[in-house]
Each structure stands twice: as structure tokens, then as C-alpha cells.
Chains A and B, each alone.
Chain A
Amino acid sequence: MALASSRQPAPKSRWSLTPRAREGITGWLFALPWILGFIVFTLGPMLFAGYASFTRYNITTPPNWVGTENYERLFRDDRFYTGLGNTLWMVAVKVPIVIVLALVIAMLLNIELPGSRFFRSVFYMPNVLSGAPAVFLWLWMLSPTGLINNFLGLFGIQGPAWWSNANWTKPGLVVMGTWWIGGNILILLAGLKGIPNDLYEAASIDGASGWTRFRFITLPMLSPTIFFQVVTGIIGTFQIFTTAYLITSSSSTGTSSGESLANGGPGQSLLFYVLYLYNRAFGKQGIGFQMGYGSAMAWILFIIILAVTLVQLWLAKRWVHYETEGK
């Protein structure tokens, strides 16, 4: 600690390396855990899944090459399309509702009000609670005698049988999903705070109305944030699993749990893509342990998500506004 700072970084006798080379080696060594993890837990498995998707494989016996059979079967599989359809339904309905609702609340929070920090914490609180307890809470909230139906009853409305009626299961999930918008709110709020105030002031001087300011200042300035949320929202929604698993394996869906899980809930209405993939690969109802088939599904999902993201990026050029001047 007390060493004079004028001393040269003297090369140690053990190492005849230049400081630059030493830094390079240290850099690689420090990054090595990630590189190894990437190869062993991500890249290797992904490539193996690519190979396995052309085989018949149940883990216990060696893979058996079958060419494109899995893909051919998949494209004729009704449940594959049901799973895809249910998943797309959620993407189309849930993602926009979540973002619009989050934007409204974020804009309210952006007004300087007493208690705004308290409100922010309250809206974020549900986000720290995911997993089984939260799903069971909502199974109960939306059960026939649950709080929501009791509340609707006050107005003489007969609430639906959310979890056992095929038409209401997915809307039930959307209602449930609106509880977890705290993260979206916080990010949108940060985006709103980043918009320079002088833009609004200049617009007010020019006599712009509230709506005009929202439409021509807030939305364009916020569009990168919104775009990011749309992309991550779609990727996340494509991967719905835990919620669907817990609901379809619960007796709340009105049938015996094993059967309901394998079928994807009432009328296959909760058979989401990943749930079907899980049933194929790990299910115990006679269709399980088809690792080759499951791998083919995983690769198709990867390609779908990649395509959706690329399309989003392409569309983004038309509506996302990036501040580039002066940078």
C-alpha cells in the first residue's frame, strides 16, 4: 500500500510475458466459467437437440436415426397446432393489455404526487411473488366461490366458471397476468422520466393539447422502451409453462388431474406450446419420453421466436424513434 507509485511494473522472473499478454490470459481465465457453461449447458445441448430431433430417442436406449419423421408427424399433429394457437392467443391478447395498462399507471406515477414511492412499491410487489403460491392464490381468487365471482355477484352478474369452462380459462390467465405488470410499470416510468421536460414546455407554448403532447412527444420518445417490452413480452408469453402446468394439474379444472394435465385443461384450452412439449418429453400419460419429438418441438419454437424477433426488429424501423442527433 505504501509503495511508491513511480516504480515500473517490473516483469517477474517467473513470467517472461509482457503485461499485455498477462492481461489477455487473465481475461480469458476470468471469463472461462461463462464460456465453459455456455458450451456445456447451452451450445452443446442445443446442437444435441438438433441431432436428437432426427431420431427416435427415449433416453434409456441409444437414439435411432429416423430422418425427418418427427417433423413430418409434428406438422400433422393436431395438438401441435392447438398448442401454437393457444400460445398465439395469449401473445395477441395479453401482451398489448399488459403494456397499455402499465403505461397508464406509469404516466400517473410520473405526475408528482404525495406517496408516489409507496404506490410504486405496491405495484411492484406482486412481481416478487411468482411460482406455485401465486398461482394457487389466483386459482382460488377465480374459483366459482372466489373473490372475483363474489364481487361480480354484488352487481347481479353470474361469474363464469373460470377454470373449468374452456372459453374462460385463457381470459382467466389474462386477468391473472394484469397483477404482474409492476416490472413493466417501473421500466416505462424510467423511460418517462428520461424525456426532457423542455420538449413538453416548448409544445405547451405552441399550444399543444394534452393528447397532442402524448401522441407526438411521449409515444415517440417512449417507443424504444415499448418496443423492448413487446419483444420480451412475446418471448416470455411463448414460454408459459408453470402456470399452465399448475392449473391443468389442479382439481380446479374439474377433471382428474393427470388426465387434465395431459390434455391441457378443459377442451385443451390451456394446452400451450411448452406444456405440450413437456408432456411429450416428460409426461407420464403414455405419450411421454419422446425426446426426439420434443427436441423437434424445441427447435421449431426457437425458430419461431427468432423469426418473431427479427420481424419485430424490421417493423421497429417504421415506428420506433431513436434519438440520434448530437451523439
Chain B
Amino acid sequence: MATIIEQQPTIAPALEGTVKEERLQVPRKPMSPGKIVAFIVLSGMSFLFIVPFVWMLSTSLKGFNDLAGSNWIPNPVTWDNYLNAFGYGMWGRWAMNSITITAFSVFGTVLSTSIIAYSFARLRWPGRDQVFALVLATMMLPGVVTMIPQYILFSKLPAFGFMGSQTWVNTFLPLIVPAFTGNAFYIFLLRQFMRGIPMELSEAARIDGASELRIWWSIVMPLTKPALAAVAIFTFQFVWEDFQGPLLYLPSEKNYTLQIALRFFEASAGGAPAWNYMMAASLVVMLPVLIIFIIFQRYFIEGVTLTGMGGR
């Protein structure tokens, strides 16, 4: 089957379009005055967008005497803030919790959305279009509507002592299991993508006796890699940064995720927050997402355009 795929190198261009176009720019002409003004305005605005990051870094290295000042270069540079911020509390454990939940969620979401999207995109079954309409409808459903009843559900489901809890509350299950049932946005994205793959590929494999599971795994999955990458990256971001879920379902300190831990860390300061410590801790917590973004920004940017996920 590998040969079939190699013969079709141009099947999945949908994600390429936006970036490639700009690389084809004609040789540079001198900029018109209008363009120079636009360039200056854009530079200024993007500077404003970067400033908070720089200020965060600067604050995280300031001593307490320096904190109220508007100087950008900390005087002296206090690396100890990082040691002090993480010297208190179970940060190692909290980081492991975040990593565990995120890893399972990403795995579950990619696997389930892909097979569900395959069913909608490439198989015919009675009621398919009605069910797909339902998928689209849930995209508009505000998540908070189900917040309370889901909590009730999870507080009744038995966990049989898993993670030391009798119910699903205070275990990772409420945050991980739903990921294995797919996500409407990503099902939609992958379905659109899979419909672009020629049906002849599947039919040829069927004639060769391949099962649908095999066709999904060996033909369609490899050809949807760019879209799967977008799904994985967005899931990673949203799960890593989720606050509401862990706040509801992980009340005991040992099960906190990094997001909840930050809030706990701030509250435990008592009075006004020690902003240098707070910024040091915040920076480290957001660092994984920032690094992923810098490496895979292409997938982020194309994924946004494809899903239309403009909001946060």
C-alpha cells in the first residue's frame, strides 16, 4: 500500500496553501511611502504585543527592592527567585499531574477524532448526515451549560479506589475520559480534510481486501498528518492551560495541575502577591506551550484558519 501513497504526493495540499503563496513573492521593489508608514505602524504594534513577555521576564529576575521601579534591567539580577518560587510546595508532583493529563488527552483526542471523522468523511451509513448535523450543533453549545450536571455525574460514578477516591471526582478520569469521545471542532476539521483524499485510494484497498480499520490506519491517517498535528497541538494547549476542569475535579492538593498550583501559590502568599516569584513561576508554567508554539507555529497558524477558532 505504501506504493499507492508515494504516487500521490500532492493529495494533502490544503494546509500548505497559505504559507507557500507568500514565498512566491516577486523580487522586491522599493517600498512606497504608504507601505513604509504601514511597516512602521505594524512594527510599533507588534512591539506592544511583545512588551508583556519582556516585562514578565524582567520582573521574574527582580529583587524585592526593585519591584516597584520601572527599570527594565533588574538591578541586581536575582536568579534565586526561580529557586525560591519552586522551593515551596509539590511542584514536581503538580508538573507530573499536568503532563499525565495532557498526554492522555492528546492521545485520546487524536485517536478518537480521527476515527470518528473517518466515519463521517469516507463511509456511508444510515443517519450519517443527521448525526453530523448534531456534531455541528454541539460546536455552538456553551460548555458551562453542562458544567453542573457533568459534575453531578462524575461525583456519582464509582472509581473503586482509583487514585484513592471512591468517585471520579478527585481522579484524572473526568479530565481524560471525555477526550476519548472526540471533539466537535476537530471532527469537523479532520472530516473536511479527509474528504479531500481521493476515494479511489480507499476503493483500491477495499478490492485488495483491506478492512476499514486498516484503510483508516494505513492510508488515511498518514495523509492527514498536518491536520492531526494541528489537532494534537491545540489539544495540548487547551488541556495544559485548562483551569475550570481541574478546579472542579481535582480539589485535593496532591492532585493539583500547574494552573491550579499557581493560583494556590498566589493565595498562600497571604497579602499582596510577591510578583517576582509569581512571574518566575508563571513563566515556567507557560514555557512548554511557548516552546511548542515557536517550533510548530505553522500548524498553529494554519489550524486557526482552518477551524475558524478565533477565540481563545
The residues of A with any CB-CB pair to B shorter than 8 Å are 1, 3, 5, 7, 9, 19-20, 23-28, 30-31, 33-38, 40-42, 44-46, 48-49, 52, 59, 105, 108-109, 111-134, 136-141, 143, 145, 147, 150-151, 153, 179-180, 183-184, 186-187, 190, 193, 228-229, 232-233, 235-236, 238-239, 241-242, 245-246, 249-252, 257, 274, 277-278, 281-282, 291, 294-295, 298-299, 301-302, 305, 309
> Shortest beta-carbon distance, A309 to chain B, in Å?
7
> Shortest beta-carbon distance, A240 to chain B, in Å?
10
Are B119 and A30 touching (Cβ within 8 A)?
Answer: yes
Given contacts A26-B123, A298-B145, contact A5 B300 (CB under 8 A): no
* B residues in contact with A3, CB < 8 Å: 207-209
15 A-B pairs in the complex with CB atoms less than 8 angstroms apart = A1-B3, A3-B207, A42-B141, A113-B38, A118-B46, A132-B260, A132-B262, A183-B310, A228-B308, A235-B142, A239-B142, A250-B273, A277-B147, A299-B145, A301-B145
Are B312 and A183 touching (Cβ within 8 A)?
Answer: yes
Query: For the complex, what is the distance from the CA of A235 to the CA of B18, rounded to whole Å?
Result: 28
Query: For the complex, what is the distance from the CA of A192 to the CA of B311, rounded to whole Å?
Result: 18
Query: For the complex, what is the distance from the CA of A48 to the CA of B149, rounded to whole Å?
Result: 7
Are B182 and A257 touching (Cβ within 8 A)?
Answer: no
User: Looking across the interface, which residue of chain A has its beta carbon closest to that of B264?
Assistant: A132
> Shortest beta-carbon distance, A172 to chain B, in Å?
14
Query: For the complex, what is the distance from the CA of A298 to the CA of B128, rounded to whole Å?
Result: 30
Are A190 and B124 touching (Cβ within 8 A)?
Answer: no
The residues of B with any CB-CB pair to A shorter than 8 Å are 1-3, 18-19, 21-22, 25, 28, 31, 35, 38-39, 41-43, 45-46, 49-53, 55-56, 59, 67-68, 70, 112, 115-116, 118-120, 123-126, 128, 131, 134-135, 138, 140-153, 155, 178, 180-182, 187, 204, 206-209, 212, 216, 237, 240-244, 247-248, 259-260, 262-263, 266-267, 269-273, 275, 278-279, 281-283, 285-286, 289-290, 292-293, 297, 300-301, 304-305, 308-312
User: Looking across the interface, which residue of chain B has its beta carbon closest to that of A298?
Assistant: B145
* A residues in contact with B135, CB < 8 Å: 34
* B residues in contact with A141, CB < 8 Å: 52, 55
A contact patch SS? helix
* A residues in contact with B267, CB < 8 Å: 249-251, 257
Given contacts A125-B293, A128-B289, A145-B67, contact A27 B123 (CB under 8 A): yes
> Shortest beta-carbon distance, B29 to chain A, in Å?
10
* B residues in contact with A120, CB < 8 Å: 301
* A residues in contact with B182, CB < 8 Å: 33-34, 37
Query: For the complex, what is the distance from the CA of A311 to the CA of B6, rounded to whole Å?
Result: 50
* A residues in contact with B155, CB < 8 Å: 59
B contact patch SS? helix
Are A137 and B52 touching (Cβ within 8 A)?
Answer: yes
Candidates A108, A124, A131, A239; contact of B38 at CB < 8 Å = A108
Total A-B residue pairs with C-beta atoms closer than 8 Å?
306
Are A236 and B140 touching (Cβ within 8 A)?
Answer: no
* B residues in contact with A59, CB < 8 Å: 152, 155
* A residues in contact with B304, CB < 8 Å: 124, 127, 183, 186-187
* B residues in contact with A150, CB < 8 Å: 70
User: Looking across the interface, which residue of chain A has its beta carbon closest to that of B182?
Assistant: A34
> Shortest beta-carbon distance, B78 to chain A, in Å?
16
Query: For the complex, what is the distance from the CA of A110 to the CA of B168, rounded to whole Å?
Result: 49
* A residues in contact with B126, CB < 8 Å: 24
Are B263 and A132 touching (Cβ within 8 A)?
Answer: yes
Are A186 and B301 touching (Cβ within 8 A)?
Answer: yes
Candidates B18, B21, B35, B116; contact of A31 at CB < 8 Å = B116
Are A136 and B149 touching (Cβ within 8 A)?
Answer: no
